Structure 1
């Protein structure tokens, strides 16, 4: 018999978000005993409701007062990240003059497969993927700067798309 991968979300009080409470700690012990396919994430619905009302600086300050050092370390973001992890998913981005979009693909997908998520013609007529990392793009501030610094790569059909890649697909159909 096969086991399904599981994520338990433990809703705790705001004061328990950093370390959990007695019940969430028992749930963590249970999850750990189940193996790597069972994980737990702490979430505070109360904190999530309050975060919606705050700007990013206020969010960080609020979370730090609760013992959380990063927006990615708690709540819904942690739950989504864990879901992606347990399902072996990752995100890549496309960006144009009017829109930037995130695309979800499986880990280990090759560039043509990733292009096919946008449109099957992109996969059929794949030529290459002009690729840079999200972190490089943010650090340099533009695609042109990435290119000038040699951070824009031309990848072929065997390129395995990485988490956070920003890609411009070249194709011909």
Structure 2
């Protein structure tokens, strides 16, 4: 669909234009062929904004009863990279064009969900309208860098915190401190 066609049909809310995640529940004995089943069904149901996830609900239910370390060890032995829940959340975010960023105030960390390609000033508005209105700049460090450093202060010392303006495109996993004045 062209951009003009999308604008012309936007108010109709066609179900066929919405992103679609097909989730198939299979038996544990079919897990080794999960990738080929996903590809087969992705081809069979091919359309824009569609993805496929194959999972074994019974196995996931059993893994949910284990502690995280045991569950991860079991998943690795079964050839599974991540939990079905995490995978469905990740695929849903991708299909919907969403990313998450984090804010830290004192000892409170909060995740915020925004659309991909959102500028920093609009992301600040997601936290509070005053932050958008009085936006000065954003201090940004990636989640991975923050974990490696251990703190934002250490990230500053290592030069990993960068200062960005209103037009900075927020990336998935950014940890942001918004500076504003109202």
Shorter-chain TM-score range:
0.7 to 0.9
RMSD across aligned C-alpha pairs, in angstroms? 2.1
TM-score of the two chains, using structure 2 as the length reference: 0.83
Q: Does 1:130 pair with 2:105?
A: no
Q: Is the 8 A contact 1:130 1:167 kept in 2?
A: yes
Alignment correspondent of 2:58: 46
Residue 142 of structure 1 and its aligned partner are, at CA, apart by 1.2
TM-score of the two chains, using structure 1 as the length reference: 0.87
SS of residue matched to 1:150: coil
Residue 18 of structure 1 and its aligned partner are, at CA, apart by 4.8
Q: Provide the C-alpha distance between the structure 1 equivalents of 2:156 and 2:59, rounded to a whole number of angstroms.
A: 41
> Where in structure 2 are there 5+ consecutive unaligned residues?
1-8, 10-15
Structure with more of its chain in helix, by fraction: 2
Q: Provide the C-alpha distance between the structure 2 equivalents of 1:58 and 1:47, rounded to a whole number of angstroms.
A: 13
Q: Is the 8 A contact 1:43 1:76 kept in 2?
A: no
Greater mean deviation of Cα atoms: 93-102 or 134-143: 93-102
SS of residue matched to 2:61: helix
Residue 4 of structure 1 and its aligned partner are, at CA, apart by 2.6
Q: Provide the C-alpha distance between the structure 2 equivalents of 1:15 and 1:139, rounded to a whole number of angstroms.
A: 39
1:1-173 aligned at under 5 Å gives the runs 3-20=17-34, 26-31=40-45, 34-68=46-80, 70-71=81-82, 74-173=83-182
> Relative to 1, partners in 2 of residues 1:23 and 1:107: Cα closer, same or farther, differing over 3 Å?
closer
Deviation per residue, 1:89-122 (Å, 9 max, x gap): 0010112223111110000000010011111111
Residue 66 of structure 1 and its aligned partner are, at CA, apart by 1.4
Q: Is the 8 A contact 2:37 2:54 kept in 1?
A: no
Residue 36 of structure 1 and its aligned partner are, at CA, apart by 4.0
Q: Provide the C-alpha distance between the structure 2 equivalents of 1:18 and 1:172, rounded to a whole number of angstroms.
A: 56
Residue 148 of structure 1 and its aligned partner are, at CA, apart by 0.7
Q: Provide the C-alpha distance between the structure 2 equivalents of 1:91 and 1:53, rounded to a whole number of angstroms.
A: 28
Moved over 4 A (4+): 21-26
